Structure 1
Amino acid sequence: MALAVINKCSAIINRLPAIIMVAIIDMALAIIDMASAIVNMLTVIHAMVTAININI
């Protein structure tokens, strides 16, 4: 019984690096998405400001 528990624990510990890597990659992708959304927003604002300046 104890052996099975130890085996299960070691299996989970062996998988931890992969789980952490996936979490880090997910976080990085989320940050990249957020950054691109901000860039898009700035582009839209810039286009609007330019359009307003042309109209004036």
Structure 2
Amino acid sequence: MPISCRVFNLNILHTPNYLYKKTDILQGKLVAIIGSGQSAGEVFQDLLPHTGRGDY
């Protein structure tokens, strides 16, 4: 993880840890998915039904 990201008090994780932290992630209000690869797309698709929005 870049040092520039460590200065913020954020919960940052890499996709291999996503399923272990999914329950915690769903408790939060905001999620940012950074990436454009397969794993980022899969995390986005997995979280989308939990948004309560159907306009995507």
Q: TM-score, normalised by structure 2?
A: 0.25
Larger radius of gyration: 1
Q: Compare the two structures and name the one with the higher helix fraction.
A: 1
